[in-house]
């Protein structure tokens, strides 16, 4: 392990984080809120630590996979530890662990909250809390790679360790150019949604914060009853549509820009993603219409919003879906596991892994009748390597094991099984709200400090695709190489 390069890149990361806090500071300064001092202290601490670490010398500048994992894992933890300071200093949360939980939830785009009255928060804190979604959505380390060409050839190890999905693909020969393409797309979608929400009657501040939560698929609300506060079908539909768009692999937008329409249209992951959404919306709409809704149109509107919110792991809500019929809740629970597309800001297992899993099942059934047949697993007409397929196997197996162990541990809190299971999947899949004890109208504040730390760990596990954090726990990866 080359500790010098790890600490130096972490220093650059913290320097960037201190700069990213400045807009929140200016908002608090403009509003004259009680959070001015908290941001000044945090920015000074973060910037100072960042400058000191970035001056550490290293023997060589290239970054190996081992160092890439260390930078990504430690980077997210450090960014969260320091990012939580303003919430703690302003007493926006009861304890520092609560503040850490909240900011981990922000950076990992989970949206699980321990704050019961968000409308009482200072404006600067509200902005920082939602801005962490936007920063974490595309990846704070990918942002670092985009801005720091000095990272050179080692940048891909960081990009690969942080990118969601079984394969981290380049859209340009140089990884910093790939990162810039992703962020250009990210900026573009953000700008369009802000403008459309302004047309819907939202103010600029509210439009920005809701867009941060939508495009980052995070879901932190700035109203106590989330998007339900806005009694506007237009606003509900705009946010619902942009949540769906944010759950699509961002590389497909680049393909559209390049005019490769056939590549997008025939993309198997995209087609399955849209198919699952349509099927879920139809099933829930009919279930709601025949049980509790008088008009099918309203049932379709609410079901589309919640399906889009859950499958993209955003977590916004327009209704208390915990009161829906069991059939509808069961569909939403399944969507929590599935998640969005690889290469998007969404969490969960990812559509591509579900797709490959179905293809593996189909292959095993065919081999019963044709045991000697050679049947490679293909995606979009390209054969997937055995290494990638094995990785998908391993990821799903590890996800299930962590989910089961986590559920058992959370039940020690005395909550019912539905609440415990949904708490784990809501954090591990980076969704936010769950069912029962952590339903859309409730929060995670009732859990003990130990459970909040455990769930924070699950949020980091889910955002960094499980193996990044697990690999860091192996002692041999921290040995200095001679």
Numbered residues of the known binding site for K(+): 109-110, 218, 313-314, 430
The pair of structure tokens assigned to 139 is 């990846």
The pair of structure tokens assigned to 227 is 């998007």
- Residues sharing a CB contact under 8 Å with residue 24, sequence separation 6 or more, in sequence order: 39, 86, 124, 125, 127, 128, 131
How far, CA to CA in Å, does 170 sit from each of 44, 102, 156, 251, 315? 36, 32, 9, 9, 29
**Helix intervals (H) in 200-267:** 204-215, 233-246, 250-257, 261-265
Please give the annotated binding residues, written as ranges: 109-110, 218, 313-314, 430
How far, CA to CA in Å, does 122 sit from each of 33, 36, 376? 6, 10, 56
Where residue 247 falls (left for φ over 0; alpha for ψ -120 to 50; beta otherwise) is: alpha
Q: How far apart are CA 107 and CA 137, in angstroms?
A: 7
Q: How far apart are CA 153 and CA 112, in angstroms?
A: 36
Q: Give me the residues paired with residue 382 across strands.
A: 379
Cβ(347)–Cβ(217) below 8 Å: yes
Q: How far apart are CA 187 and CA 16, in angstroms?
A: 18
**Helix intervals (H) in 225-350:** 233-246, 250-257, 261-265, 268-289, 296-311, 326-338
- Residues sharing a CB contact under 8 Å with residue 339, sequence separation 6 or more, in sequence order: 311, 312, 313, 346, 347, 348, 349, 350, 351, 429
**Look-up: residue for tokens 């996979």?**
65
Closest by CA position to 147, among listed 297, 229, 138: 138
Residue by residue, DSSP assigns 166-178 as S----SSSSHHHH
Closest by CA position to 95, among listed 456, 480, 449, 475: 449
Q: What would you report as the CA-atom Rg of the chain, rounded to the nearest whole angstrom?
A: 22
- Residues sharing a CB contact under 8 Å with residue 138, sequence separation 6 or more, in sequence order: 182, 183, 186, 216, 250, 345
- Residues sharing a CB contact under 8 Å with residue 101, sequence separation 6 or more, in sequence order: 93, 112, 114, 444, 452, 453, 455, 456
Q: How far apart are CA 355 and CA 327, in angstroms?
A: 23
């Amino acid at each position: 392990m080359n500790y010098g390069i790890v600490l130096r890149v972490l220093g650059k990361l913290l320097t960037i984080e201190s700069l990213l806090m400045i807009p929140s500071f200016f908002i608090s300064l403009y509003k004259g809120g009680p959070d001015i001092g908290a941001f000044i202290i945090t920015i000074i601490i973060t910037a100072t630590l960042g400058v000191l670490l970035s001056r550490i010398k290293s023997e060589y500048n290239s970054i190996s996979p081992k160092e890439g994992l260390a930078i990504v894992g430690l980077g997210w933890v450090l960014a969260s530890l320091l990012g939580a300071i303003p919430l703690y200093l302003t007493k926006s949360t009861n304890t520092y662990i609560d503040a850490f939980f909240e900011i981990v939830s922000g950076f990992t785009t989970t949206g699980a909250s321990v704050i019961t009255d968000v409308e009482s928060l200072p404006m600067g804190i509200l902005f920082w809390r939602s801005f962490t979604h936007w920063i974490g959505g595309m990846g704070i380390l990918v942002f670092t790679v985009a801005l720091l060409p000095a990272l050179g050839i080692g940048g891909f190890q960081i990009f690969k360790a942080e990118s969601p999905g079984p394969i981290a693909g380049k859209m340009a020969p140089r990884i910093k150019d790939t990162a810039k393409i992703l962020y250009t797309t990210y900026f573009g979608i953000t700008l369009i949604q802000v403008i459309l929400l302004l047309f819907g009657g939202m103010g600029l501040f509210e439009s920005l914060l809701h867009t941060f939560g939508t495009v980052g698929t995070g879901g932190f609300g700035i109203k106590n009853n989330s998007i339900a506060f806005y009694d506007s079908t237009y606003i509900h539909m705009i946010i619902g549509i942009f949540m769906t768009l944010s759950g699509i692999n961002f590389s497909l937008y680049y393909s559209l820009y390049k005019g490769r329409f056939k590549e997008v249209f025939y993309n198997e992951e995209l087609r399955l993603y849209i198919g699952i959404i349509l099927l879920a919306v139809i099933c829930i709409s009919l279930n709601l219409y025949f049980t509790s809704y008088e008009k099918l149109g309203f049932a379709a509107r609410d079901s589309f919003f919640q399906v889009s919110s859950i499958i993209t792991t955003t977590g916004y809500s327009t209704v208390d879906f915990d009161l829906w019929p069991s059939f509808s809740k069961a569909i939403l629970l399944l969507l929590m596991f599935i998640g969005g597309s690889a290469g998007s800001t969404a969490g969960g297992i990812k559509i591509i892994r579900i797709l490959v899993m179905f293809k593996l099942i189909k292959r095993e059934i065919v081999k019963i009748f044709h045991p000697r047949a050679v049947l490679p697993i293909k995606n979009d007409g390209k054969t997937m390597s055995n290494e990638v397929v094995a990785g998908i196997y391993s990821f799903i197996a590890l996800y299930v094991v962590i989910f089961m162990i986590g559920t058992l541990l959370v039940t020690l809190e005395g909550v019912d099984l539905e609440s415990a299971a949904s708490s784990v999947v809501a954090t591990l899949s980076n969704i936010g709200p769950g069912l029962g004890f952590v339903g859309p109208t409730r929060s995670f504040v009732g859990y003990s400090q130990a459970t909040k730390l455990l769930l924070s760990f699950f949020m980091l596990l889910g955002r960094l695709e499980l193996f990044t954090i697990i690999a860091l726990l192996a002692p041999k990866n921290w040995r200095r190489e001679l």
